[in-house]
Structure 1
Amino acid sequence: MNERRKWWALAAVGSGVLVSTIDGSIVNIALNTLVQAFGSNLNIVEWVVLGYLLTLACSLLIMGRLGDMYGKRRIYLIGFGLFTVASLLCATAPSITALIAFRVLQGIGAAMIQAVGPALLVTAFPAHERGLALGAIGSFVAAGILIGPALGGILLRYVGWEAIFFVNLPIGIIGWWLTIRAIAPDQTTRPGQRFDLVGAFLMAAALFFLLLGLTEGPIWGWRDARVIGLFVAALMGGVLFVFWELRYPQPMLQLRIFRRLAFSLNLLAALVLFLGISFNLLLTPLFFQLVYQFDLQRTGFMLMSLPIALSLTSPISGRLSDRFGSRVLTIAGLIVTGLALLGLSFSTPTTPLPQMVGFLVLLGIGVGLFQSPNNSTILGNAPPEALGVASGLLAVVRTVGQTGGIALAGAVWASQVFALNGAPVTPITAAPPTILAGGYDVAMRVAALIATLAIVPSLFGGRALQRQLVPVKQPVAD
């Protein structure tokens, strides 16, 4: 029964990760439809996406801490229920303001799901199968990225915008039932615990200002007083958060967790990698549309190659890490990722399409090789009483890395396009395809360099883990 139960637990957590990942991308292609449906403008409708993502990112650590305090299964069930109810409210929203508010509610539910989901799997699977479980979750994430835009396009075309939210309801109900059936009830929590309300506020505020600044910087301009103010506020919030956490007796984030080098260095490696691969997330779709002149449907079809390769590689990599350790796999994954990004940087308007798709497949393999073993190392080195926070940190690192990487990619690409063109061009997409391709090439070389730099913390993190595993020699009795 226990053997079967862990697979049911994987299905329960996987369904939550899948539906929350789909919802992070499915709405992106509906923005113009929502503008017309509500008679609004794009600047307001963008908050349907932004409100969800900012709420999700700012709530992850809070939900991880609540999971550690009051039970991960309980938080997961509440989150799944909240997400499902919020989806129904989104589908029936009477105005754009109501839709944005319900998306914020949906983001809170998604944060509960994503923060404690991986931690639930760590406790449901034995330690020697942790990589396999987390690799399978990587496949669910890739499937969500793959399904979201394609499903959204079909529903928008044949049903209507409401369907992109209604589709969450059956998955939510099934996932909630699976969680009750498969996840063991929470053990009795330790009495006397207090939630760090001030620390939670400071952390959420710092993340909100940082991510909003990174998101709006390319639009408002990096020298805009509003952007500078957001970054200053984020820095002040971060400093105050650390100051408070060091002094509060029951902090939301035990900072001493970062003394475990295998934990903190591999977390840093993940951050650096997400910074690098985010260049591809932003620029490769633009290359297909502006340089190859593909329509949206054909572009989406070409981009499917990466998540397919990632979904196939992640469980294999996780299983291999259970048998042979994570160090070699993470380094190999980063090398393959760097080579794939470098290969993409040689693309021109005349580059054969199979060459680009091949490098996208290689990129998916590289990320799949790295991610499962790296996540297994991070969660395996977190204290049992802080698994929820560690799981939340993983999701925060992914979000911050992707947001920062997209902002950096846009800045590098734009500056290079302007330099090659000899003058700024407005809009930038009006530049000749050869100029746009030249900017893409330079940006992807920067991405390859960033991804390769992740080898340094990953290598030292692997060494720290190896030292932890060396048994201490006992003195020989006389």
Structure 2
Amino acid sequence: QGQSWGWADARTLGWLGAGAAALIAFLFVERSSAHPILDLKVLRRRPVALALTAGGLGQTVAFTMPGLAILLALYPAIPGVSDGLGWTAHHNAVVSVSWNLVMFGTGMLVSRYLRRFDARRVWCAGLAVMAVGYTLVGFFHGDELQLIVTSCVANVGAGVVVSVAPVLVIGVVSRDEQGLGSGMLNMLISLFGAVVTAGAYAVLGASSTTVDGTAFYLDAGYSGIFWLGAAVTVVALVLSVFIPRLREPEESPAGG
């Protein structure tokens, strides 16, 4: 309701405040629970906190941006009202096969040969490529060729990110904590996904027109959501620089 109520409206701020209060209450409950969903003691270890946060942010972008791109493809092209591409769902599915295959193939290739390289460097390289890719998508998305080329660049990085993120978690937790770490990573992806999606719609809403109660989005909004994805990826990349050397699953974790 941010667009219709206004982002500074008391109702909007009230719901945002209620969400923050619920999150704080959740953390207090988890802190006192014998079997917490989110083990705060584990998150106090800097390597774990960095790997989970960076992994969650990176995978959020990889999973969220393609879904938001569907809006660009399916919304109509109406001069001065809507800057979508006006594709049918079938046409969008056919065109998007290209970058989905790139993501799938990259992930398979990287996971097959990952043990030969430093996983942290591969991860950071994937984030860098994904950030560049979504920056390019923000500039060039006006037709099939532009969207295919730029999205394929972004999804080379996304394939790396999706395949390496679990390795980051396994490399900073003990063997007994691997299930917990994976569960926490998935929970953070859901949390970050909700935040990024809400932010993306706020960006779209800032560059929109409303006709008979229906919002149509302008090109500046579409560019903005892709640049938002690139910015979140850069944040994940900066955090990843501080992740210490990952251990092999067979090694004992440093400091227990």
TM-score (norm 1): 0.45
Alignment of structure 1 residues 101-116 onto 2, 5 Å: none
CA shift, 1:337, in A, is 0.3
Closer, same or farther: CA 337–259 of 1 in aligned 2, 3 Å:
same
- Does residue 378 in structure 1 map to residue 169 in structure 2? yes
CA–CA distance in 2 between the matches of 1:389 and 1:288? 38
| Structure 1 segments unaligned to the other structure (5+ residues) | 1-215, 419-423, 473-478
What is the aligned length? 240
Check the 8 A contact 1:343/1:359 in 2, yes or no: yes
Match of 2:42 among 231, 254, 257: 257
Closer, same or farther: CA 374–355 of 1 in aligned 2, 3 Å:
same
Match of 2:118 in 1: 325
Equivalent residue letter for 1:403: A
Check the 8 A contact 2:110/2:160 in 1, yes or no: yes
Closer, same or farther: CA 388–222 of 1 in aligned 2, 3 Å:
farther
CA–CA distance in 1 between the matches of 2:130 and 2:58? 9
Match of 2:182 among 391, 416, 419: 391
CA–CA distance in 2 between the matches of 1:381 and 1:392? 14
- Does residue 440 in structure 1 map to residue 231 in structure 2? no
Check the 8 A contact 1:382/1:390 in 2, yes or no: yes
Closer, same or farther: CA 343–384 of 1 in aligned 2, 3 Å:
same
Check the 8 A contact 1:342/1:444 in 2, yes or no: yes
Helix, strand or coil at the partner of 1:293: coil
- Does residue 400 in structure 1 map to residue 185 in structure 2? no
Alignment of structure 1 residues 145-224 onto 2, 5 Å: 222=7
Check the 8 A contact 1:273/1:454 in 2, yes or no: yes
Match of 1:465 among 241, 246, 253: 246
Closer, same or farther: CA 346–249 of 1 in aligned 2, 3 Å:
closer
CA shift, 1:395, in A, is 1.4
CA–CA distance in 2 between the matches of 1:360 and 1:261? 33
| Structure 2 segments unaligned to the other structure (5+ residues) | 77-83
Larger Rg: 1
Closer, same or farther: CA 356–383 of 1 in aligned 2, 3 Å:
same
Match of 2:203 among 396, 402, 412: 412
CA–CA distance in 1 between the matches of 2:35 and 2:92? 50
Check the 8 A contact 1:345/1:441 in 2, yes or no: yes
Equivalent residue letter for 2:105: L
- Percent identical across equivalent pairs? 23
Match of 1:292 among 85, 89, 109: 85
Check the 8 A contact 1:318/1:373 in 2, yes or no: yes
Match of 2:18 among 233, 239, 264: 233
Alignment of structure 1 residues 332-343 onto 2, 5 Å: 332-343=125-136
Q: Could you say what the CA RMSD is over the residues aligned between the two structures, in angstroms?
A: 3.0
Equivalent residue letter for 2:194: T
Of structures 1 and 2, the one with the larger relative CO (CA 8 A, separation 6+) is 2
Question: Normalized per residue, which structure has more helix?
Answer: 1
Deviation readout 1:318-341 (Å, 9 max, x if unpaired): 233222121111111011101110
Match of 1:280 in 2: 65
CA shift, 1:219, in A, is 7.7
CA–CA distance in 2 between the matches of 1:218 and 1:307? 32
Deviation readout 1:11-49 (Å, 9 max, x if unpaired): xxxxxxxxxxxxxxxxxxxxxxxxxxxxxxxxxxxxxxx
Match of 2:52 among 240, 250, 267: 267
CA–CA distance in 2 between the matches of 1:309 and 1:277? 13
